[in-house]
Amino acid sequence: MTSIVIPAHNEAQVIGRLLDSLLADSAEDETDIVVVCNGCTDDTARIATARGPRVRVVEIPVPSKHAALRAGDDHARGFPRLYVDADVVIGSADVRALTEPLDDDTSGVLATAPERRIPLASCAWRVRAYYRVWQRLPAVREGLFGRGVIAVSKAGHARLAALPPLMADDLAASLAFAPEERLVVDKAQVVVQPPRTWPDLIKRRIRAAVSTAQVEQHHQSPEEASARTSKADLIALVRGEPRLITGVVVFVAAALVARRGAAKAIRAQDFGTWLRDESSRQN
């Protein structure tokens, strides 16, 4: 049985759509879904419970994603195991596609993630321009981070369990596996809602800059423990697709603003303040 762990902190607006997608077209004994409501003050637990006995709800008082993931592990029953953010949408067929490589002991694959679909129609033009560049970056295409979903085998889970609590848990998880041990499955897709406004995008980028710095501090070779974009990456993009020049200018501007916004938190070693983007949770 595949276990799906969903950490959820005040996700009443979005948890229902994810659970409905996971439950549709799946057998009763196919998936074991555990929603861990951490520090919730809204209706997240009630909405999840209303989906019936196939969804088990665990409530913990502390608003901590790391604590929620560990609590989910304590209650999950099987492998392969998926960790899914509450604000994305992924279906049962995609779950099957993600677990298929993990069931093959000869493949050497320990972790998988789906292709992203990022709907940009409702976003401000600068946000659209940013993501058109971001999605084309080599590290973004090849890494398991920024998808809101990661699936692991039992051996892959042991690798994740050894990681320290980090804000960028998905980046740390991706870097925990060598390229040949991780796989982006093109038959699986997840819908990741982007921020709709420029200020909300900057919130996300500040959080990403702070959390990336934290991940790098926990590795002996920071240059090998990052998904930072190089100048060469951007130059290669423009040479290959000259029409992206405006997007690259926007991308660089966002990076510079986020770097300034993150500097104080990094100096203070504040890796606990979570800048949440609410615009992506709007219907």
Beta bridge partners of 55: 33
pLDDT of 190 strictly over 80: yes
How many Cβ atoms sit within 10 Å of the Cβ of residue 262? 21
Confidence of residue 219 (pLDDT cuts 50, 70, 90): low
Confidence of residue 222 (pLDDT cuts 50, 70, 90): very low
Confidence of residue 223 (pLDDT cuts 50, 70, 90): very low
Confidence of residue 121 (pLDDT cuts 50, 70, 90): very high
Residue range 55-69, pLDDT digits in tens? 999 999 999 998 999
177-190 mean pLDDT: 96
Q: What's residue 167's pLDDT?
A: 66
Q: Which of 54-58, 81-85, 152-156, 209-213 has the lowest mean pLDDT?
A: 209-213
- Sign of the dihedral defined by the CA atoms of residues 165, 5, 100, 18, in that order: negative
Confidence of residue 216 (pLDDT cuts 50, 70, 90): confident
Cα distance between residue 241 and residue 69, in whole Å: 40
Claim: this prediction has a pTM higher than 0.85: yes
Q: What's residue 277's pLDDT?
A: 74
Q: Which residue has the higher pLDDT, 281 or 14?
A: 14
Q: What's residue 27's pLDDT?
A: 86
Q: How far is CA 193 from CA 14, 22, 52, 204, in A?
A: 11, 17, 26, 12
